[in-house]
Structure 1
Amino acid sequence: MKKNSTKITAFILIAILICACNAVKRVPDGKNLLVKNNILVNGKSTNDETALNQMYQKPNGKLLGYKLRLNLYNLANLNPDSTYKAQFIKHPHRYDRWSKVLSAKQVDRLGQSFLNKGLNEFLKNTGEAPVIIDTSKAKKSLLRLKYYYFNNGYFNVSTDYSIDSIARKKAQINYKITTGPGFTIDTIRTKIMTPALDSLYKNNPEASILKSGNQYKTSDFEEEKNRITTYFRNHGAYFFQPTYITFDIDTIGKKNKANVTLIISNNNIQEKDSSRTEPFKLYTISDVNIFTDYSAANAKSKISDSTTYNNFNLYSYKKLKYKPRAITDAVFINKGSTFSDTRTTLSSRYLNNLKIFNYPSIQYEVDKRDSTAQSLIAKVYLTPRKKYSFGTTLDVTHSNIQDFGIGASISETIRNVFNRAETLEISTRLNIGSSKDMANPNDNFFNVSEYGVDLKLNFPRILMPFGTEKIIPKRMIPSTSISGGFSKQRNIGLDKENFTGGISYNWSPKRHNSVKFDLLNAQFVRNLNPNNYFNVYTSSYDELNGIGKVYNQKPINWGDTPEQQIRRDLTIPNGTTGFTNDVLTNQTALLPGDPQYKDVQSIEERRVRLTENDFILATSYTFTKTTKKDLADNTFYQFKTKIESAGTLLSAISSLGNLPKNANGNYEIFNLEYSEYIKTEFDYIKHWDFGKEKVLAVRSFFGIAVPFGNSNYIPFSRSYYAGGSNDNRAWQPYSLGPGSTNAVNDFNEANMKIAFSAEYRFKVFGDVKGAIFADAGNIWNVLDNVIDEKAKFSGVNDLAEIALGSGFGLRYDLSFFVIRLDLGFKTYNPAHEKGDRWFKEYNFGHSVLNFGINYPF
């Protein structure tokens, strides 16, 4: 607590120092600091973000209403070198004294030290110079505003500005806009010179952006240009560009209305020093030539191998290494088809998706063999990647299991394995780490390890015994992935062997939609050291041992240490197993219905569940839809849903085959009860961009997994947990819930989860961003064999157990990823008694510091 008090005191002192700065310290006399741009439209102030962005000058940035960067700049000495030298000019004997103690060279170097120069440079570069009002920039801003409102239909707009002093050396600029009435579109006519384009325009099923009665907006005219251009270029108009489209706006004799004439001129052809116009032609594809091993080095070499397949011509400068269909399936440009930009884009996407070529290039040239000059030859240039590529990675890790870890992996990618554009990825990994919580009899620093190998074979098509083209056409870029893997852990929990394998299909029904269908996803988890359970899950041991001290009636084991004999501690595993069996077979004073009896029963239920080997054979369907265009897009939403069914196929086969059940009334495979459950998830993310690098992001999640048939619980690997850097950041991973249990176990999980998060992001300075966040949610057990009522979700009233965490964070943007620090505070903790849940632990002592890579959602 003393350490926290010192930090808080230091933080307050720094804050007071910054706040004490004079904001106009570096504003020259006769000048004013720009405090606000106030836009008055017809006498009323507006917060139109687009209008405010027209300003050439904007006030200094704020952090939570405070001009932090301006005050940091004002703290800096802008001329530290001159200041350092001035003290010796003013006091010449001081330099001599310092030179005797240090040396003349060292005294000179002090002027370049961090405290004298480095700190001031940091404050200067991190801070922001005061924005001084410049009337010439104000006039430019006013002109921009005039164009902005003119482009939105206010043709009679008038503008003016004034500067109002609001304090000493502080002023605001008032931009006064008088719009006049807005003009609307009256009649819309067309004047299209090329008959073929005129016919296309009339047959276009898409509605025009421009509509009679709508207010005039220049942006609508630009959208209409793009709409027409896209339609024409997808229907053969190869040489057409948006510049051929103009609009004639006529307001003569109209009151606040404008007649619009859409004009599309003929094709302008440049020929040496002259030019001519002619009607546009609609082109068809006469040939599709694919160069399978093109490079700049062999561009002028002779073709040595070629073939024709389904009207595609394939050429190779060396021996053709691909089966023709592997390439032609990825090309949507067909001989005899109409030229289309969409087909070109689809072909580029599909060829890129094969991952065996570098940046495919598609070019067109007019076919000189066609006397009408209305045919194009499509040329597809493919530059193969290397058949073999080798990769290595080295990572330093930290987790809730490992205090320190070093991980390394080696991977090999083999392309075009079967000459049909397949890729085979083979990777091995090794991780060694240190954990003070794990068994370490030899006192070795590296006392935990994990190694594994993974294989993944990708096919650029759907592998099925029947055709799927009608259901999943190739424009959806389908692919098939067959994978398998093995990993082994040592001294990590119960020590595990994990075998995985599966086959999955992927495709994109639309540009921003994707589907993943796992036909089979198999996982076998084998616990190698189940007797170590109570050494790992110490909370369960402490609870069981506390009950055993009171109710254990067995004599002390001869192998017990003297300390154990004195404390009467249960040994692991013999003592814990023996006492649990005695309780559950009514050989102690505890009876069914006693609270401690239920506690022992619950501890044993969890031990059995977490130490049993698991076999999962699942089928799942995942659908994702996003409106995100690129990494810079901060106005989008993403929706993801998944449904998974495990064990259903095995149970159906067992039932049809009339296979026998074991003593527990369940089916087995390989002498192991397999898991059977159904699981569904919904995940929704939404971002709003408020400009000036201010973003509001929200996320909601709901997931539930219900066991049935062969199972009465969900395997640990398929269950949910709460807390952590990407969840509720006021709690550590696995330390929230289930329900109101106060995380009594070490790794708390359950089979239902609800989560909500909201985060407001803003710029602090440079590449440093800040955030204020709130996270809500919890996990519960439902429809399984957990008997603790506090952990179960029984009805709507249990929604009162949704925990709330809030806090703030910093992010440093490195362009290719973001380093994130978040400090979370427990705002509402359902583990406390009702009426005592709000702000009970809202302090630095109970806060949680999270480190993460990239944004949480």
Structure 2
Amino acid sequence: MKKNSILYFLFIIMFMASCSGTKNLPEGELLYVGATIKVEGNTTPKKERKALQAEFEAIVRPKPNASILGLRPKLFIYNLAGTPKKQKGFRYWLKNKVGEAPVYYSKVDLEYNKLVLQNNAENNGYFNTKSTADSTRRGKTVKAIYTVVPKRQYLIRDVQFPQDSSVLSTAVSATKRRSLLKKDQGYNLTTIKEERIRIDARLKEKGFYYFHPDFLKIQVDSTVADHKVDLIVMVKDETPELSQTQYRINDIVVYPNYSINADSVIVAPDAIVHHNDFTIIDSENLFKPRIFDRTLYFKKDDLYNRTNHNLSLNRLVNLGTFKFVKNEFKVADTIGNYLDAYYFLTPLPKKSIRLELSAKTNSANYSGTELNLNWSNRNLLKGAELLTVSAFAGLEVQVSGVNNGFNVYRFGNEANLIWPRIVAPFRFESSSGFVPKTKATLGYEFQKRTKLYSLQTFKGSFGYLWKENERKEHQFNVTEITYASPNNVTPLYQEKIAENASLGKVIEKQLIFGPTYSYTYTNTMQKRRKNTFYYKAGVDLSGNIAGLVTGANLKKGDTVKVYNVPFSQFVKVENEFRHYLKLGGEKQLASRIIAGAGFAYGNSDEMPFIKQFFNGGTNSIRAFRARSIGPGSFDGTSTSNTFLADQSGDLKLEFSTEYRATIYDFVKGALFVDAGNIWLLKENPEKPGAKFSKDFLKEFAVGVGAGLRFDFSFLVLRTDLAFPIRKPYLPDGDRWVLDQVNFGDRSWRKENLVFNLAIGYPF
């Protein structure tokens, strides 16, 4: 036993030595393992020294090889791969993509890094800083040591803007109120550079098209007081006259059929169309002139400003009709202080067709494939209208499990027509760079569940989409219509309905019509923020006006039917809130809360099945199969495996939080906990414990798990393995099952472990 222990210990030592990366160093080379930076001196407060040290550590170069507990696995893989014979293949990929080349000490320039640290300190106002550089060697590794001794920081005493009466100086002085340079703030060269950029941006809003930040200088006077400076903002004397001029818009010329391969533009007289303030040169008459009224913000005699410049370009791109959008401004030949604006637009192919084949899987152990054929016309009515017509067919099967043999076949089609404007009897104005849109949809789907039933669904909608800005989006459907009709219900399924009446809701005829509205806010695109948010709220109304007009009241027996089908009457509200907290590096804590409620009344006794809430599955509580939780403490385990679980509810509350970190390059890892449940608003004798009560928190399902995300940039493949630690359908007091977790028990694994395979992140 002792001999085996010694051998094992020697093996660990050898493995650690190989992972350290020093074994294969060339003759005369040493491995660079990083830098230690010391910020010393009593003239600078400890808090400032600590902040400087963190900043210094980020700018020292080169960076050493990545290490974990003194081991360098990437360097180990690099050495293990050897020398590939070709610049492709697995070995080349392993060495250059997974592995990491050694960082030699010979590549470290101590003197250069010392000067970089000293300059950085002085750029932060710590003038007369001293710095030294040295190194220490340990075996075949070397560490650099930098010592920086900053002096007391200089603070801003006063900021002065130009006082002369020239047009440009007056405009520069008018920006003072929002200056980044503040009294008693530490001197900082980066802030000074940002101030020049800020002033330039403000001048661009005031017509100074040719101005540039380099035409500004900010002088520093350090003689005014002890460790104080005055900053003097000035326009350089050598600033060109062109850059000192405010410009207005003269002619606006649009080429909507421009070829980027053309050396010059030849204009036929009959190709010129004058429309309001625009001159449109369209020899093939591809577009109606009115679309440029809604996309171009500039009008003749407008003062040039960058906001309208960018909004116009954003809207042209957002139309989805043009492949390339190019814009030029030139000084007008006929009138002083004016610019001619030119827009060169290269259209995408008007018509296109695309065929897609996809594979999918879900938590109910169904796997399958789907074929989609999409045809598009990007300029249907010469107003940049987008018509898409799609047809699809798919198959889902369960290879093993109780539903083996009950395959699902689907086929259908859908047509969407999108107008790049609000089609309505009222005028709608939007000042964002996103084109408001009107969308009409018609669709049909046929679904056949082998040995069970068939279901036909017809859908239609008409509504509007618009964005206030990149963060806020609205979608309002004036009406959404859904009609579902069952066919070919088999005796087998009828028998199961007799055993479980709730299965009958799946095949009920349904007619749903009414408006829907959703609002989305997100700032997740702001990558530098530590905290980012996503919020979506939606309301779904059905049959409300019809119910009011007809006096429909199911309780009194006054049921109203349309084509012999009772229409659904309900109100449904749903909210989803997400929070993302950056923890540094590639680590993140992502959390989500979902809260929703649906209330049926008037012509309906309960919510339509397709509008109810469900829990469980790949994007919900991942430790439970799809639609297998609740409602409340109802135990649906005896029926949850029969023809898919159908446990639905009127109320939903769900919470998830997930710790995400990069394990290796494109491989991300996650640890997560999910919790929640659904409830009914009314008692259901067939589902005891399903009604919402004051004890709803005791009826939460809780699951935990871990997962891998393979981020291939164009696709994120997600795998999650989860198990429940709280089962709401167990007797009160026995619902926590954490003490029963036993990964070594095969029967426990079969009953509790749930594997999820999905595309994309859960939230």
Whether these two folds match at TM > 0.5 is yes
SS at match of 1:76: helix
Relative distance call for 1:609 and 1:677 in structure 2 (3 A) is same
Shift of 1:618: 3.1
Instruction: Give the match for residue 480 of structure 1.
Output: 438
2:332 matched residue in structure 1: 367
Aligned-residue identity in percent: 23
Counterpart AA for 2:543: G
The residue number in structure 2 matching 1:391 is: 354
Residue 265 of structure 2 aligns with an amino acid whose one-letter code is K
Preserved CA contact (<8 Å) 1:40 1:176: yes
Matches within 5 A, 1:465-504: 465-469=425-429, 472=430, 477-491=435-449, 494-504=453-463
Where does residue 636 of structure 1 map in the other structure? 532
The one-letter code sitting in structure 1 at the alignment partner of 2:22 is: R
Alpha-carbon shift at residue 367 of structure 1 (Å):
0.5
Find the counterpart in structure 1 of residue 150 from structure 2: 179
Partner of 2:466: 507
1:430 and 2:378 equivalent? no
SS, match of residue 382 in structure 1 = strand
Pairwise CA distance, 1:663: 7.1
Counterpart amino acid of 1:312? F
The normalised TM-score by structure 1 is: 0.76
Q: How is 1:60-99 mapped onto 2 (pairs within 5 angstroms)?
A: 60-62=65-67, 67=71, 69-70=73-74, 72-73=76-77, 76=80, 78=82
Closer/same/farther in 2, CA of residues 340 and 278 from structure 1, 3 Å limit: closer
**Among candidates 637, 647, 656, match of residue 748 of structure 1:** 647
1:784 and 1:853 mapped to 2: Cα distance?
A: 37
**Aligned pairs for 1:613-628 within 5 A:** 613-628=509-524
1:458 lines up with 2:454 in the alignment: no
Question: What's the offset of the Cα at 1:184?
Answer: 1.8
1:336 and 1:743 mapped to 2: Cα distance?
A: 71
Shift of 1:283: 0.4
Q: Is the 8 A contact 1:448 1:491 kept in 2?
A: yes
Residue aligning to 1:148 = 120
**Distance change in 2, residues 1:726/1:216 (3 Å):** farther
1:794 to 693, 700, 719: 693
Instruction: Give the 3-state SS of the residue equivalent to 1:851 in structure 2.
Output: strand
Task: Specify the alignment match of 1:838 in structure 2.
Answer: 738
**CA distance in structure 1 between the aligned counterparts of 2:743 and 2:195, rounded to whole angstroms:** 57
Aligned counterpart in structure 2 of residue 821 of structure 1, from 719, 737, 757:
719
Q: Which amino acid aligns with 2:696?
A: D
C-alpha separation between the residues in 2 aligned to 1:36 and 1:708?
Answer: 69
Q: Superposed, which structure 2 residues align to 1:461-610 within 5 Å?
A: 461-469=421-429, 472=430, 477-491=435-449, 494-531=453-490, 535=493, 572-573=494-495, 603-604=500-501, 606-610=502-506
Task: Indicate conservation of the 8 Å contact 1:685/1:700, yes or no.
Answer: yes
1:805 aligns with 2:698: no
Q: How does 1:62-461 map to 2 (within 5 A)?
A: 62=67, 67=71, 69-70=73-74, 72-73=76-77, 76=80, 78=82, 122=94, 126-128=98-100, 136-161=108-133, 163=135, 173-191=144-162, 195-204=166-175, 207-265=178-236, 268-269=239-240, 280-296=244-260, 299-303=264-268, 304-316=270-282, 318-370=283-335, 373-400=336-363, 403-435=366-398, 447-461=407-421
Shift of 1:613: 1.8
Structure 1 CA distance for aligned equivalents of residues 116 and 29 of structure 2? 24
Q: Contact 1:193 / 1:266 at 8 angstroms: preserved in 2?
A: no
Partner SS, residue 652 of structure 1: helix
Secondary structure (helix, strand or coil) at the match of 1:209 reads: coil
Task: Work out the CA distance in 2 between the residues paired with 1:193 and 1:693.
Answer: 51
Q: Is the 8 A contact 1:831 1:837 kept in 2?
A: no
1:612 equivalenced with 2:505 (yes/no):
no
> What letter matches 1:69 in structure 2?
P
Q: Does the 8 Å CA contact 1:738/1:778 hold for their aligned counterparts?
A: no
Task: Report how far residue 332 of structure 1 moved.
Answer: 0.6
Distance 1:848 1:51 in 2: 47
- Rounded to whole Å, the distance in 1 between the matches of 2:352 and 2:13 is 54
| Compared CA separation, residues 74 and 427, structure 1 to 2 (3 A) | closer
- Bigger shift: 306-315 or 676-685? 676-685
Equivalents in 2 of 1:77, 1:300: separation in Å?
56
Counterpart Cα distance in 2 of 1:640 and 1:462: 22
Q: For 1:75 and 1:419, how far apart are their aligned partners in 2?
A: 61
Q: What TM-score comes out, normalization by structure 2 length?
A: 0.85
SS of 1:200's equivalent in the other structure is helix
* In 2: Cα distance, 1:177 partner to 1:827 partner: 53
Check whether the contact 2:554–2:603 (CA below 8 A) recurs between aligned residues: no
Deviations along 1:494-520, one digit per CA (max 9) or x if unpaired, are 421111111121111123221111221
Candidates 537, 540, 546, aligned match of 1:650: 546
* SS in structure 1 at match of 2:267: coil
Displacement after TM superposition at 1:381 (Å): 1.4
The residue type paired with residue 312 of structure 2 is S
Q: CA deviation at 1:632?
A: 9.9
Once the two structures are superposed, residues 369-390 of structure 1 have per-residue CA deviations (whole angstroms, 9 ceiling, x without a partner) of 01xx301111111222222111
One-letter code of the match for 1:697?
A: A
Q: Tell me, what secondary structure is at the counterpart of 2:313?
A: helix
Give me the whole-angstrom Cα distance separating, in 2, the residues matched to 1:615 and 1:17: 69
Q: Say which SS state the counterpart of residue 191 (structure 1) adopts.
A: coil
* Partner in structure 2 of residue 739 of structure 1: 632
Alpha carbons of 1:473 and 1:343: their partners in 2 closer, same or farther (altered >3 Å)? Answer: closer
| Aligned partner of residue 295 in structure 2, secondary structure | coil
Q: Give secondary structure in 2 for the equivalent of 1:186.
A: strand
Post-superposition shift, 1:70?
4.5
In structure 2, relative to structure 1, the CA distance for the partners of 1:524 and 1:784 (3 Å cut) is farther
User: Aligned equivalents of 2:361 and 2:99: distance in 1?
Assistant: 34
Task: Flag the 1:305–1:33 CA change in 2: closer, same or farther, 3 A.
Answer: closer
Letter in 1 for 2:437: S
- Asked whether 1:670 is paired with 2:563, we answer yes
Q: CA deviation at 1:129?
A: 5.1
SS at match of 1:386: coil
Task: Classify 1:401/1:826 alpha carbon distance in 2 versus 1 (closer, same or farther; 3 Å).
Answer: closer
Distance 1:643 1:215, change over 3 A: farther
Cα RMSD between the aligned structures? Answer: 3.7
Distance 2:339 2:284 in 1: 27
In the TM superposition, 1:716-727 aligns within 5 A as 716-727=609-620
What residue is the counterpart of 2:61 in the other structure?
56
Partner of 2:77, secondary structure, is: helix
Amino acid at match of 1:21: M
Instruction: Call closer, same or farther: CA 1:253–1:849 in 2, change over 3 Å.
Output: same
Question: How far did residue 73 of structure 1 move?
Answer: 3.0
Native 8 Å contact 2:385 2:420 kept in 1: yes
**Residue 302 and residue 399 in structure 1: after superposition, are their counterparts in 2 closer, same or farther (change >3 A)?**
same
Tell me if the contact between 1:293 and 1:382 (Cα under 8 Å) persists in the aligned partners: yes
SS in 2 for 1:215: coil
Cα distance in 2 for partners of 1:460, 1:80 equals 54
SS of equivalent residue, structure 1 residue 495? strand
Question: Does the aligned pair in 1 maintain the 2:631–2:678 contact within 8 Å?
Answer: yes
**Deviations for 1:425-458, whole angstroms, at most 9, x for unmatched residues?**
1111111343458999xx9x89532111111111
Stretch moving more, 194-203 or 22-31:
22-31
Q: Cα gap change, 1:520/1:295 in structure 2, threshold over 3 Å: closer, same or farther?
A: same
- Match for 1:760 among 659, 684, 688? 659
1:699 aligns with 2:592: yes
Deviations 1:391-428 (A, max 9, x none): 11112233356744232111111132222221211111
Q: Which residue of 2 aligns with 1:587?
A: none
More deviation, 786-795/123-132: 123-132
